[in-house]
Amino acid sequence: MSTSCAPVARPALRWRSLLSALLLGGFYALPWLRWEGRQALLLDLPGRRFDLFGWTLWPQDLGMLLGLIAVMACSLVLLTTVAGRVWCGHACPQTLWSGLFRWIERGCMRWLPRPSAAAVATQLAWALVALWTGITFVGLFTPIHDLVAGFWPSRWSGWERFWVLFYATATWGNAGFLREQVCIDLCPYARVVPLLCDDDTPQVCYDARRAEPRGPRGRGTGSVTQRGRGLLDPTSASDYAFRAAHPALAGPPPRFNEDRLGDCVDCAACMQACPMQLDVRSAPLPDCIACGACVDACDAQMRAWRFPTGLVRMASANALQGRPRRWLRPRVLAALACLLVLLGLGLQRL
């Protein structure tokens, strides 16, 4: 079997990076927005006044605030059931800041050839971002203009100094070092997600029927559809995928001629792109945050080999089996009913 190098894959459209930049930019800009001469979003705890874009909540309006939190929770449940872990992969603060810190680290390593200089520059950049993140977060509870004006010489109160340093340290540690361990070991939402999903909820899937058996091959080898090999039966595809993922248990996988190989060229691009350090080809993974990095990496490789994309893609278990998708299902109806009831109660209060 030929083991020639794969062609270089062109980068996929980085719309996820653009979305991350917009969300991060929105967070850092949020305290600076003005509404009718006041800070648009200010949770003034000492003054017992919450300003929300022209809507002011007082202590007697605590029920409305709790209602808003309940609406956001029901919306997240509904979103998870219908679309999977899109919150984790695209909007969770841990995902956003971890991605930002990785981008800073790669940039320092790229532009500073000396490892020691790159490491120092990375830590300094992380510290600056973490400090500004702490200031921005505290700026939602203290007028941001006063907070920034009192930075140097420091005129912050003891509590302001404590919370800025607390959130700066948390950002620096979680995004710079803990990263995926926060999602795996600390996040309560990750424990609840399996209860919210069913066989119609999309997740990142590996099409083993088309991909297996995997392996390197020479250039010019067509995909399974171009070669006429077609898709494997589900049992054989699962067996090949299990053997490749667990050689210590199943023994080394058999060798195949190039015309019998699937479309997976075994380049490991999906593993290298995964921020959770997972191999989507091994099995459905409960720790997968559905960020789509492996999808982009695999699609880029498929385009480079002139194979159809979608070997790794977002799909539900029923979709992989060719069954029609059900939109109205018990979990969806329950979450939608709760959301409508809460919205109705809120409108009645207004």
Q: What angle do CA 33, 35, 39 make, to 5 degrees?
A: 55
Same structural domain, 214 and 113: no
- DSSP characters over 159-215: HHHHHHHHHHHHHHHIIIIITHHIIIII-HHHHHHHHH--TTS-EEEE-HHHHPSP-
Among residues 197, 228, 263, the one where a domain terminates is 197
Tokens 């062609």 -> residue: 7
Q: Which candidate, 98, 157, 171, 69, places its Cα nearest to that of 128? A: 171
Phi then psi dihedrals of residue 140, to 5 deg: -80, -15
- How far apart are the C-alpha atoms of 298 and 295, rounded to whole Å? 5
* Tally of residues, the chain: 350
Clarify whether residues 96 and 230 are in a common domain.
no
pLDDT at 8: 47
Q: What was the pLDDT predicted at 281?
A: 92
DSSP character for 39?
E
Asked if residue 264 and residue 127 are part of one domain, the reply reads: no
Residue 158 lies in domain: 15-197
Element at 189 (helix H, strand E): helix 188-196
Determine the pLDDT at residue 5.
Answer: 43
Q: Is the dihedral of CA 305, 238, 194, 81 positive or negative?
A: positive
Among 197, 215, 233, residue at a domain's last position: 197
Q: Does 8 reside within a domain?
A: no
Upstream peptide bond of 213 is cis (omega within 30 degrees of 0): yes
Residue pLDDT tens, the chain, 350 long: 333 444 544 444 478 889 999 999 999 999 999 999 899 999 999 899 999 999 999 999 888 889 999 999 999 999 999 999 999 999 999 999 999 999 999 999 999 989 999 999 999 999 999 999 999 999 999 999 999 999 988 889 999 999 999 999 999 999 999 999 999 999 999 999 999 999 999 999 999 999 999 999 888 888 998 888 889 998 999 999 998 888 888 777 788 888 899 999 999 999 999 999 899 998 778 899 999 999 999 999 999 999 999 999 999 988 887 888 888 899 999 999 999 999 999 888 77
| Interacting residues of 93 by C-beta distance below 8 A, sequence separation 6+ | none
DSSP line for 106-140: HHHHHH--SHHHHHHHHHHHHHHHHHHHHHHHHTT
pLDDT score for 6:
46
> Inter-axis angle of helices 330-349 and 62-83, to 10 degrees?
160
Same domain, 20 and 53: yes
* End-of-domain residue from the set 145, 167, 197: 197
Place of tokens 């066989």: 199
Nearest to 262 by CA among 311, 299, 304: 311
What is the helix (H) or strand (E) element at residue 93, kind and residue range? helix 93-111
Domain membership flag for residue 341: no
101: amino acid identity, one letter: F
> Half-sphere exposure of residue 144, counting CA atoms within 13 Å on the CB side?
22
Domain count, the chain: 2
> What pLDDT is recorded for position 12?
44
Instruction: Check residue 121 and give its pLDDT.
Output: 97
6 assigned to some structural domain: no
User: Is residue 10 included in any domain, yes or no?
Assistant: no
With H, G, I as helix, E, B as strand and everything else as coil, classify residue 44: strand
pLDDT of residue 347: 86
